[in-house]
Amino acid sequence: MADWLKIPSKSKRREEDIPEPYEIVCVCGVSLSGYRRKAPYRHACQQCTESYFILPRNTYPAPKARKKKKQLPKQQQLSDFIMNSALVSR
């Protein structure tokens, strides 16, 4: 019975272990890159000592893809527009 509790926690751990890279360019032109951590931190440039705030890894799941609306054929759209327009008397 307790085995079902282990399954979701394993998948959650796998998602957390996936590294999220970042890359920013300093004001002096040096490229700063690395991997996001669990908590926010500051990355300092080695050349000019400018400090940058790095956001933590995203803990939320990725959004699901939206379904596309089914489009009517052009003839159907045209006839619906004509029937619903204010110029046509009913």
**Domain map (residue ranges) of the chain:** 18-59
Quick: pLDDT tens for 75-85.
Answer: 777 777 777 77
Tokens 């991997």, residue? 35
CA–CA dist 18, 62 (Å, integer)? 13
Residue keyed to tokens 């282990």: 6
Please give the Cα distance from 85 to 67 (Å, whole number): 29
> Between the CA of residue 23 and those of 51, 54, 62, what are the distances in Å?
14, 10, 21
Residue 12 has pLDDT above 80, yes or no: no
> In this predicted model, what pLDDT tens digit does every residue of 43-76 receive, in sequence order?
999 999 999 999 998 878 778 888 877 765 677 7
